[in-house]
Structure formats: structure tokens, C-alpha cells
Copies of this chain bind each other. A is one copy, B any other.
Amino acid sequence: MRFRLTPQDTSFFEMFARTGTILVEATAVLTEVIGSDQARREELGKEMEELEHRGDEAAHAVLRRVNSSFVTPFDREDIYQLTSRLDDCLDLMQAAVDLMVLYRIGELLPGVGDIVQVLARQAELTAEAMPRLRSPGDLSDYWVEINRLENQADQIHRRLVAALFDGGYDAISIMKHKEIIETLEDAADAFEHVAHTVETIAVKES
């Protein structure tokens, strides 16, 4: 068993773990959105907004704690960056849902669900990693796998964009779909940026 930090410091890890859980819930909503119709998507958009509020509260709790703590488990600026990058993941997934609703996109190009599956796996891994930030050096499997998944999302994204331009779609449908697909790919990137921040923390602690 590893050395435990003081209770005060510990709670930073709990706070990050809470955000990890919210990210997993967000990918569940996003997965349902893919297969839904416009009416159901609008309801799910509201659920996503709820999750985003909870994410904001979790982020503010971390920042308040940083500002009032004498000792933090790692550099203040790394805590800020990790908080901000976790927030980006949620924001981008919410933005993707918002675009589907706003554009009344209807049935999605087959394959969009494949990127969402990658995001769901990235969110799970991130949620598992957060409580283990106490010993960031043990997390190399996590960031290697997140990077691999990001490359996979990028491949799918490129395949989808090529299919979009080759598929006889009209220019307006292409524009709408392209923006949605790019926002999902940006979310996969955002998970990679989280992993990169964790890697940076691990290097400093080692």
C-alpha cells in the first residue's frame, strides 16, 4: 500500500474523480443522441447542459481549493491546467450535441457513432486514472492508450470526411456534418490533452 497524503490534499483527487464520472455520463448521453430523433435529442441536450453545470461546479470547487490551500499535491499551474482540460472534454461533447440539435441534422452519416465509441472508451480510462493521480508514474498505460485511441478517432474522422465529400451529399449537409464530426474529433483530442497534462505531472514527480 502506498503512502497516503493528508486528507486535505487527498480531496483534490476526489474532485478530479468526480469530473471523470461526469465525463463517463456525458459519453452515455452522447451515445444515445446519435441514434435518437430530433425531439429526443432536444431532451438529451438538456441533460447534457445539466452535466455541464455539474462539471463547472466541480471545476470551481477545485479552483477555490487551490486558492485556499497552503500545500497542493502538485504544482498549482498543473492543477489549473488539468481542471481546464477536463472541462474542454465536456464542453466539446456538449457542443457536438448542441450542433446536432441546432442543425436539425436528422439521420447521421453512418460511422459517426464509431467516434463516439472511442470517446466513451477515453472517458472510462480517464475516470479510472483520476483517483490514481496520487501515483502518476503508474499511469503510463493510461496515457499510451488514450493516445492510441486519439489516433483511432483521427482515422475515423478522416474516413468520414472523405465519405462525406464522395457521397453525393449537398454542400449544406456536408457543412453541417463536417462541423459535427470535427467537434467530436476535437473532443478526442481534448482527452489526449488531459493525458498529456497527467504525463507532465508524472515527469515532474519522478
- A1 at the binding interface (Cβ < 8 Å): no
A103 and B172 within 8 A (CB): no
Within 8 A of B (CB), among A159-183: 161-162, 165, 170-172, 174-176, 178
Whether a CB of chain B sits under 8 angstroms from the CB of A158 is yes
Cβ contacts under 8 Å, A162 to chain B:
102-103
Chain B residues whose C-beta falls within 8 Å of the C-beta of A6 in the assembled complex: none
Q: Which residue of B lies closest to A171 (CB)?
A: B171
A5, CB-defined interface residue at 8 Å? no
CB distance from A100 to the nearest CB of B (A): 12
Residues in chain B near residue A98, CB distance under 8 A: 158
**Chain B proximity mask over A99-138: 1 for CB below 8 Å, otherwise 0:** 0001110000000000000000000000000000000000
- Give Cα distance in the complex from A98 to B157, angstroms: 13
User: In the complex the two chains form, is B165's CB within 8 Å of A171's CB?
Assistant: no
Nearest 8 pairs of A and B residues by beta carbon: A171-B171, A171-B172, A102-B162, A67-B203, A102-B158, A103-B165, A102-B161, A172-B174
Please, which residues of chain B bring their CB within 8 A of the CB of A176? Answer: 165
Bound CA–CA A174/B102 (angstroms):
15
CB distance from A120 to the nearest CB of B (A): 26
Bitwise interface map of A from 174 to 194 toward B, beta carbon under 8 Å scored 1, else 0 = 111010000000000000000
7 more contacts with CB within 8 A, not counting A171-B175, A175-B175, are A67-B203, A102-B158, A102-B162, A103-B165, A165-B172, A172-B174, A175-B178
A170 closest partner in B (C-beta): B171
